[in-house]
Structures are given as structure tokens and as C-alpha cells.
Structure 1
């Protein structure tokens, strides 16, 4: 199994277009990745300026160009605003495995946007990429993320620990 994201797979939901990230998104991505609420349960350095955000965008584009991961922007069909991101990465070709990661700006939380996006990305992962397993790593206190994963039938892996982040929990969804 190998992936080819040369033609980026744009996905549609009722209210969202899931599309490729571009440098034109720098200001919105900065607002998302620098947001204290978004970063509350994530261990990462928030960007300090647009130049750092552009560097992040370049790294994502490079990841996609090398077929090592894919990241979609959640764009509102009605307002064309960037609401968040969702992606698959850390592929294990032998096990047909990927990790899913996601974030949404607080202004758009608890409206079902991420549920729409996740359902579409999971279906894409299982049906188009032929994945067998998708895992999510989330902080033990991130109730919104845990609820989202529970609603998508991910199962908590009580016998496993995230080696990199002690307070993370691992959730798994199998085909």
C-alpha cells in the first residue's frame, strides 16, 4: 500500500469543503494555531508570527507532496471561513494504519462541524486509502475530543500509553 496525493482529494460535507491548505490561509491558520483554547490540551509551540505560520504551512505541503501525510482545511460553504483542520499522518504501510489529528477554532466548536469532517475523513481513510486502523491521541482531560471519538466508535486503548505525552490517551478505530 502506498499513497499518492498528487491530485489532492477535496471532500464535501453538507456544510463544509475539506480542501488543501495553502499559503493564502496563513492568517487564519495563525489565529487557529496560536489560540490558547485550541492549544490547552496540545503540546506544541504556538506560532509567534505569520512567518512561522507560513513555515508550518510549507511543512504540511511538503508532507503531502511526499505522500507522508494529508491535511484538510475545514472551510465553511456558506462563509468560506477556515474553521479548523483535520488530517491523517504517521502512516504504517505494513499495518494499513494512520493517526488522525484535528483542531477547530473555539468560535466553531460544539456545532457539529468536526463530526461532519471526521466522518468524511474516516470514510476516505478506510475506503480510498484502504486503511485498517485509525488511531487518535488526545489529552485525558479533553472532554470534547473524547466525546467526538466516542461518537465515532473509537475505543480507548487501556493497555497502551503515549510514549511522548504522559497525559494523552490512545483511541482506536478499526475497519
Structure 2
């Protein structure tokens, strides 16, 4: 008997709006800090649906892909992995991710990041990836390092949180 996977990774669909809204409400404290734009766009189910509709359009244009990480036993949205800032001319893309606090520590995001990098390579010939994270986000740095990304440089004043001054961010890169 084979063991069933604990999660499924798939592109978001409009029917996922309620789950997306719940994910961001449930994890407001950390997601608001590290995903301020997405947080603002998920404040209601209607807004979450609009975000997903826009994400689907961006996917059709091969600019951005929003993948949901769904639990399989009691289906719910546990996190997101976003392949964004896609530049097909230069074979580049950025990977961003978030996971609900109660699902952390299982290796799901690391696995999902590897799968999304493979997806970008196989389906869109992307061979240069970046992850941008704040130096205080230790979990994100661990994911980048576990998945083969190497620290490249500090990006000065790269990120503007909802409140406060622009912050320096750390750039990690992966070449396939």
C-alpha cells in the first residue's frame, strides 16, 4: 500500500477564493508583514476571487503563476507558492511562498519550491530563479538554502512594508 501525499500543489482556481481569504485571515500577523500586497487583496472573499481571476490572466500571459498548496485529507489551502516576475527572454523568474503557521516544519514548502522550479524549467525554459527575503525571516532563508538557492547580495531598500521605512532584502539565486 502506497502512502498518499499529504498535500496537492495546483494552480489556484476562482472556487478557491474563500480558502484564500481564510488562509490570509488565519495567518494575518506573519502574512501581513511579508506579503502586504497580497494581504490587502485578500481581505474579503470577493477581493480574493478578483485576485485569483487576475492571477489566472497573468498565468495565461506566462507572467505569474499562483499555486495553492492544499491538504489532501481535509482539503484546505495551507499555503501559496508563486512563480512571478517571469522574464522569458532572459529565462528568469522569482519564487515567493507562504505557509500557514500550523503546517510549518513538515518540509512542504521546500518540496513545493523545488517542484515549482522544475515546472518553470520544463514548461517555460526558466533556468535562473531568485528568492527575495528579509534577513529576519529565518524560515524563508532555510527554505531557500535547503532548495539549493545561494545567497547573492543584499538589495538596499527593496521592500516597503505596509507601515514603516523601506527595508533591505536578501537575494538568493538558483541556476538550473
TM-score (norm 2): 0.82
2:164 aligns with: none
Matched, 1:150 2:145: yes
1:6 aligns with: none
Per the alignment, in what secondary structure is the counterpart of residue 167 of structure 1?
A: strand
2:120 aligns with: 125
Equivalent residues of 1:71, 1:85 under 8 A apart? yes
1:7-22 equivalences under 5 Å are 14-22=5-13
Structure showing greater relative contact order (alpha-carbon pairs closer than 8 Å, 6 or more residues apart):
1
2:89 aligns with: 94
2:35 aligns with: 42
Whole-Å Cα distance in 2 between the matches of residues 148 and 48 of structure 1?
A: 27
Per the alignment, in what secondary structure is the counterpart of residue 36 of structure 2?
A: coil
For structure 1, the 5+ residue unaligned runs are 1-12
1:108-123 equivalences under 5 Å are 108-123=103-118
Equivalent residues of 1:68, 1:89 under 8 A apart? yes
Bigger shift: residues 123-132 or 23-32 = 123-132
1:53 aligns with: 48
Q: Of 125, 136, 139, which aligns to 1:141?
A: 136
Whole-Å Cα distance in 1 between the matches of residues 80 and 159 of structure 2?
A: 22
1:3 aligns with: none
Deviation for aligned residue 1:61? 1.3
Matched, 1:31 2:32: no
Bigger shift: residues 74-83 or 44-53 = 44-53
Equivalent residues of 1:87, 1:100 under 8 A apart? yes
Deviation for aligned residue 1:138? 1.1
Whole-Å Cα distance in 2 between the matches of residues 48 and 160 of structure 1?
A: 29
TM-score (norm 1): 0.82
1:4 aligns with: none
Name the count of aligned residue pairs.
Answer: 163
Whole-Å Cα distance in 2 between the matches of residues 94 and 77 of structure 1?
A: 37
